[in-house]
Amino acid sequence: MATYGGTPPYSYYLFNDIPESHFIDSLYQGDYYVIVRDSNNCAFVAGPITLVDTDIDCLKFPVAFSPNGDGYNDEWYIENIHLYPKSVVQIYNRWGQLLYEKRGIEGYWDGTYKGNPVPTGVYLYMILLNNDEETRAGTVTVVR
């Protein structure tokens, strides 16, 4: 069912008239109502909108980064690692030498080993989530 009308501009609200941007993310599973108000303060309420959590992996692993000090893409940042506070991030070189190890919430790899930049190349990462989920592994490329 489509609804038409109202006088632009429109404002969007979520959670009892708290203004929202055009993008809404990071919501928990549950029922939500969205309120649309026009310039005359007339309201349309859409909902309930039910969000259901899925088993889709929320961790995002960049395939490359460039730790060259230009202020852009200088660290290897795992998106949503904060959701796994007990996780351990490990980085190895091609010979199996451990170059970096920290808890996932303690920072990001800056492409160094013992304070010195690692060479351009491919490195192996292992993410030990320390829960019932499997260890994540893959490669990341350092580009200088």
| Pairwise CA distance, residues 139 & 110, whole Å | 15
Give the model confidence (pLDDT) of 101-127 as tens digits.
999 889 899 999 999 999 999 999 999
Q: What are the residue ranges spanned by the domains of the chain?
A: 11-51, 64-142
Q: Is CATH 1.10.8 correct for 64-142?
A: no
Is the pLDDT reported for residue 11 higher than 70? yes
pTM: predicted TM-score of the whole model, two decimal places: 0.63
pLDDT digits (tens, 9 = 90+) for 23-74: 666 677 888 888 888 899 898 888 888 887 766 678 999 999 999 999 999 9
Q: What is the DSSP string of 92-117?
A: E-TT--EEEEEEGGG--B-SEETTEE
How far apart are alpha carbons 107 and 121 in whole angstroms? 21
Measure the N-to-C terminal CA separation of the chain; round to a whole number of Å.
54
Rounded-to-integer distance, Cα 42 and Cα 16, Å: 15
Q: What is the mean pLDDT of residues 94-99?
A: 96
